[in-house]
């Protein structure tokens, strides 16, 4: 396996993952940015759309190294450049959107606390 490449993992539990490989040991793989691949069929259009969703539900943990036991992996392969580029672009966009949402929440909290501070001395 090439390190820091994008790989597709077929897990024994049926999950399909796209990951960035950061380490390969005898008994496990170390990955970051694990995303579950979802196939969304459209009966009307007779097509299937592929989407990815965070495998770990907490954004703050997505950059952490995740240990996946090789006994839980059915098979794996390096994806082609087209899939790798789409995956990397998508996770970059999602990270940017998450940073924007976090800043907006922080700004709203600051406004809220400022409003409380401004009214705290006006009890009658």
Q: For each of the domains in the chain, give its residue range(s) and CATH number, in order of start.
A: 6-94 (2.30.30.100)
Q: Report yes or no: 63 and 74 within 8 Å, Cβ to Cβ.
A: no
Q: In the prediction, which pLDDT does 4 show?
A: 64
Please state the separation of Cα 54 from the chain's center in Å: 4
* Alpha-helical regions (H) of 1-124: 81-119
Residue 19: strand, helix, or coil: strand
pLDDT digits (tens, 9 = 90+) for 69-119: 999 999 999 999 999 999 998 888 877 776 677 778 888 788 877 777 777
Q: In the prediction, which pLDDT does 121 show?
A: 57
Q: Which residue has the higher pLDDT, 68 or 95?
A: 68
Whether the pLDDT of residue 15 is over 90: the answer is yes
Q: In the prediction, which pLDDT does 3 show?
A: 47
Q: Is residue 17 exposed (0-12), middle (13-18) or buried (19+ Cβ within 10 Å)? A: buried
pLDDT digits (tens, 9 = 90+) for 105-116: 888 788 877 777
| Summary count for the chain: helices (H), strands (E) | 1, 6
Q: Is residue 28 exposed (0-12), middle (13-18) or buried (19+ Cβ within 10 Å)? A: middle
Whether the pLDDT of residue 2 is over 70: the answer is no
């Amino acid at each position: 396996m090439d390190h820091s490449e994008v790989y597709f993992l077929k897990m024994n539990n049926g999950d399909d993952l796209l990951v960035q490989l950061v380490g390969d040991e005898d008994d496990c793989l170390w990955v970051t940015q694990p995303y579950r691949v979802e196939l969304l069929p459209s009966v009307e259009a007779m097509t299937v759309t592929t989407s990815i969703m965070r495998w770990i539900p907490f954004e703050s943990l997505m950059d952490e190294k995740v240990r996946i036991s090789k006994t839980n992996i059915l098979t794996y392969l390096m994806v082609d450049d087209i899939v790798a580029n789409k995956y990397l672009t998508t996770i970059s966009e999602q990270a940017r959107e998450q940073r924007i949402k976090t800043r907006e929440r922080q700004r709203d909290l600051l406004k809220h606390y400022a409003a409380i501070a401004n009214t705290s001395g006006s009890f009658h």
